[in-house]
Amino acid sequence: MKTLAEVERQLTAGEFDFSRHAFVRAVERNITDQEIREAGAAVEVIEDYPTDKYSPSALLLGFTAAGCPLHFQVSYAETDLTKIITLYEPDAGEWIDSRKRR
């Protein structure tokens, strides 16, 4: 299983892949690879899913260079690239400080 440090390194280096869902969401939400690399440079786990359907995963929070928060759900599976399951900008109406669900 990947560590958070490995996931962070891979996100920053651009060594990530999208699920079909995440790819569609990134396009719809205009989230660029550069923003993912920036936000991936310093992520924190805000929710952990050790028994997720296909592999252990977690919801991470990171910030772009412009200070925009991004949530990433990533798989901890041992693969060459970090798999991004979904990603989005957290809605302030649903999240407190982008870290805790309301």
Q: Is the dihedral of CA 76, 78, 81, 86 positive or negative?
A: negative
Q: What is the pLDDT of residue 101?
A: 93
| Residue pLDDT, tens place only, 3-39 | 999 999 999 999 999 999 999 999 999 999 999 999 9
What are the sequence ranges of the domains in the chain? 4-101
Q: What are phi and psi of 72, to 5 degrees?
A: -125, 130
pTM above 0.75, yes or no: yes
Q: What is the pLDDT of residue 90?
A: 96
| Residue pLDDT, tens place only, 85-102 | 999 999 999 999 999 999
pLDDT > 70 fraction of the chain, expressed in percent and rounded: 100
